């Protein structure tokens, strides 16, 4: 039976992504997906305590921590963290509830978003198929997007915006689902991106799973040997659970579900792939139900079983060698000795005196033969070997082979009038034009904490480009702001432009974006190097002040350093070569609607002649 309670006023939750220059801005609190945020405020205030929490899994038994709002079901399986304390319950269903600050959670509006399904489910993968805890298997009914449209979260109180309460309620013959017997997980919703993620409870450990095979791939044999697939789970503290192994082409499980051993955090199964096959194996670790650890999937291991290549033989003969230096002809054949037939495709390479670089090569003909002529121009001894590289693409594959060496000695070339010409050339280098700053992702220009303007209309902060390093060193060409080095030939002019990205605190929440138009660069001034051709008067600068008052994150203008058009900040029209520094002040303004947090983004400086 579907439960539908009273509906709230229609609303929406907005979220956005951001980027910036290492700053802190004002705003409200938010929860982090995957258990990184504070506990939702209603959890400790509930008059009816939940039986435990809910963990979501995909069809292979891997933990799922988020998904799309329009997915038919939140996950393939929803599993309770503990057994049901009410005797006689045999079915489970998912309900969504919309939080209301200050109201008893038992009175919140909500709706059943899945059909009731029987448990336990022996056909579920791994530990999900053996647990006595309530298990919901699919049960599609109402997707989250439909639910949010029906009963949206319009709350503004701290700890409530963007959150929804998901409960797994159980029932049985003669006893309907009872809101006093439920398991609970809170999710955070991003309606802009159309996604949801687990917000509470916290996950304790992320895991990783590595998959190896013994014997290793490929097997070259006509009788394939059994392959032992071994999954290793780390860290050891979280490696309690089971591993299932899968053929990802057929999406079928390989062998039985295995329990991870406590001694070395591994689990293994054995499989025998067929001759001439490539089997993609993957291992999926499912933590012990109720552990709140995050499971993991290994990379796909493609296991190849192929027949060994046919052996080959290569012959070599030479004619014309052993006299005055001049043309020498090399001939020979390549034979498939396993099948007793000539090799009619491929290449033979010639190597001299043990070199690993061939001096000549030839293509095999229809009878497996080859011929190549090489002209020697000086005296010397030679030991030439012909090598067939093999062919793994042929049917059957062909192994490489090398000939016995052909040895001969060339004397000085004969000539009556010996001369040669030498061509000389010289190149004037094009030179380079480069621009650099000392600020990177690990060494950002930190503007510090934004301050509210005296009028209280917006936040702002500024920092000098030379504040993050030791400072300029006059006369040396060492600058802590922007450095331009021009070594172009032809005395070409150049222009420097700047373009700021949006700033983000990485949460994906409303108020988590600062427009790049609110980034400005002013007080620009060139710094010259004593003795350089570039001197005072050669470089002009153009200030680009930040948008004041600041604009919102969806503004489509080109104020400050933001927008889609790069902004000119410096130019050299006098055209001499040399080095020059450029210093200035970076300013960031932020609307008062911006949430609290560290915002990060970039300013891209571009130089062009």
Same domain (yes/no): 338, 385: yes
Global pTM? 0.49
Tokens 């001439």 -> residue:
276
The answer to whether position 108 is within a domain reads yes
d(C-alpha 118, C-alpha 137), whole Å: 8
% of the chain with per-residue pLDDT over 90:
62
Positive or negative, the CA dihedral 350, 351, 353, 354 is negative
Structure confidence at residue 350 (pLDDT): 97
Structure confidence at residue 20 (pLDDT): 27
Does residue 25 have a pLDDT over 60? Answer: no
Does residue 526 have a pLDDT over 70? Answer: yes
Average pLDDT (536-565) is: 92
Full domain range(s) for residue 340:
312-410
Same domain (yes/no): 452, 575: yes
The answer to whether position 35 is within a domain reads yes
The answer to whether position 15 is within a domain reads no
Does residue 175 have a pLDDT over 70? Answer: yes
d(C-alpha 541, C-alpha 527), whole Å: 11
* Domain count along the chain: 4
Greater pLDDT, 17 or 103: 103
What is the number of other CB atoms lying within 10 angstroms of the CB of residue 423?
4
Same domain (yes/no): 500, 521: yes
What is the number of other CB atoms lying within 10 angstroms of the CB of residue 14?
14
Same domain (yes/no): 491, 570: yes
Average pLDDT (444-448) is: 88
d(C-alpha 204, C-alpha 87), whole Å: 31
Same domain (yes/no): 114, 231: no
Structure confidence at residue 462 (pLDDT): 93
Average pLDDT (551-564) is: 93
316 in Cβ contact with 385 (< 8 Å): yes
The answer to whether position 104 is within a domain reads yes
Does residue 2 have a pLDDT over 70? Answer: no
The answer to whether position 267 is within a domain reads yes
% of the chain with per-residue pLDDT over 70:
90
The answer to whether position 25 is within a domain reads no
Same domain (yes/no): 133, 178: yes
Answer with the one of 264, 287, 306 that is the final residue of a domain. Answer: 306
Same domain (yes/no): 367, 293: no
d(C-alpha 193, C-alpha 113), whole Å: 21
The answer to whether position 425 is within a domain reads no
Looking at residue 575, which CATH number applies to its domain? 2.60.40
pLDDT in tens, 461-489: 998 887 655 556 555 556 778 989 888 88
Average pLDDT (504-525) is: 92
Query: From its phi and psi, is residue 174 left (phi > 0), alpha (psi between -120 and 50) or beta?
Result: left
Looking at residue 342, which CATH number applies to its domain? 2.60.40.10
Does residue 21 have a pLDDT over 60? Answer: no
Burial call 504-543: b when 16+ CB within 10 Å, e when fewer: bbebbbbbbbbbbbbbbbeebebbbbeebebbeebbebee
d(C-alpha 523, C-alpha 545), whole Å: 9
Q: Whose CA is closest to 316, among 383, 378, 377?
A: 383
DSSP assignment, residue 130? Answer: T
The answer to whether position 182 is within a domain reads yes
Structure confidence at residue 11 (pLDDT): 28
DSSP 349-382: EEEETT-SS-SEEEE--TTSEEEEEEE--S-EEE
């Amino acid at each position: 039976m579907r439960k539908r309670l009273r509906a709230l006023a229609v609303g929406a939750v907005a979220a956005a992504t951001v980027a910036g220059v290492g700053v802190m801005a004002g705003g409200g609190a938010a929860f982090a997906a995957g258990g990184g945020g504070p506990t939702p405020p209603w959890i400790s205030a509930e008059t009816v305590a939940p039986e435990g929490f809910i963990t979501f899994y995909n069809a292979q038994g891997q933990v799922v921590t988020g998904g799309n709002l329009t997915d038919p079901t939140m996950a393939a399986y929803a599993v309770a963290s503990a057994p049901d304390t009410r005797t006689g319950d045999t079915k489970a269903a998912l309900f969504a509830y919309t939080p209301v600050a200050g109201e008893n959670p038992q009175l919140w509006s909500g709706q059943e978003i899945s059909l009731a399904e029987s448990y336990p489910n022996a056909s579920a993968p791994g530990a999900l198929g053996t647990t006595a805890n309530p298990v919901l298997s699919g049960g599609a009914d109402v997707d989250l997007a439909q639910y949010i449209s029906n009963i949206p979260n319009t709350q503004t109180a701290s700890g409530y915006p963007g959150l929804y309460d998901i409960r797994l309620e159980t029932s049985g013959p003669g006893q309907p689902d009872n809101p006093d017997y439920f398991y609970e997980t809170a999710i955070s919703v991003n309606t802009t991106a159309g996604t949801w993620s687990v917000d509470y409870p916290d996950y304790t450990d992320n895991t990783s799973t590595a998959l190896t095979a013994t014997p290793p791939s490929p097997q070259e044999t006509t009788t394939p040997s059994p392959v032992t697939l071994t999954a290793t789970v780390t860290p050891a503290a979280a490696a309690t659970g089971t591993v299932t192994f899968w053929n990802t082409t057929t999406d079928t499980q390989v062998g039985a579900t295995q329990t991870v051993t406590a001694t070395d955090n591994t689990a293994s199964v054995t499989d025998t792939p067929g001759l001439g096959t490539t089997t993609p194996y993957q291992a999926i670790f499912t933590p012990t139900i109720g552990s709140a650890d995050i499971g993991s999937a290994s990379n796909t291991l493609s296991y190849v079983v192929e027949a060994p290549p046919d052996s080959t033989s290569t012959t070599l003969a030479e004619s014309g060698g052993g006299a005055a230096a001049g043309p020498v002809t090399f001939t020979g054949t390549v034979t498939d000795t396993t099948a007793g037939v000539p090799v009619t495709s491929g290449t033979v390479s010639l190597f001299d005196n043990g070199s690993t670089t061939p001096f000549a090569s030839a293509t095999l003909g229809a009878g497996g033969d080859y011929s190549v002529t090489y002209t020697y121009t000086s005296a010397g001894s030679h030991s030439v070997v012909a090598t067939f590289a093999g062919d793994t693409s042929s049917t059957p594959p062909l192994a490489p082979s090398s000939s016995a060496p052909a040895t001969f000695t060339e004397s000085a070339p004969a000539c009556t009038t010996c001369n040669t010409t030498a061509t000389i050339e010289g190149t004037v280098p094009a030179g380079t034009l480069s621009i650099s700053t000392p600020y990177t992702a690990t060494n950002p220009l930190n503007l510090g904490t934004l301050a509210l303007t005296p009028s209280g209309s917006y936040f702002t902060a500024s920092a000098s480009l030379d504040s993050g390093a030791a400072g300029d060193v006059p006369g040396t060409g060492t600058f802590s702001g922007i450095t331009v080095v021009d070594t172009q030939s032809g005395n070409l002019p150049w222009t420097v432009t700047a373009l700021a990205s949006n700033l983000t605190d990485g949460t994906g929440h409303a108020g988590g974006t600062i427009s790049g138009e609110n980034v400005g660069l002013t007080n620009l001034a060139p710094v010259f190097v004593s003795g350089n051709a570039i001197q005072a008067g050669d470089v002009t600068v153009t200030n680009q002040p930040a948008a004041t008052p600041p604009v919102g994150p969806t503004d489509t203008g080109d104020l400050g350093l933001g927008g889609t058009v790069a902004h000119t900040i410096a130019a050299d029209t006098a055209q001499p070569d040399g080095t020059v520094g450029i210093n200035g002040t970076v300013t960031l303004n932020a609307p008062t609607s911006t949430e609290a947090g560290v915002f990060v983004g970039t300013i891209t400086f571009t130089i062009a002649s």
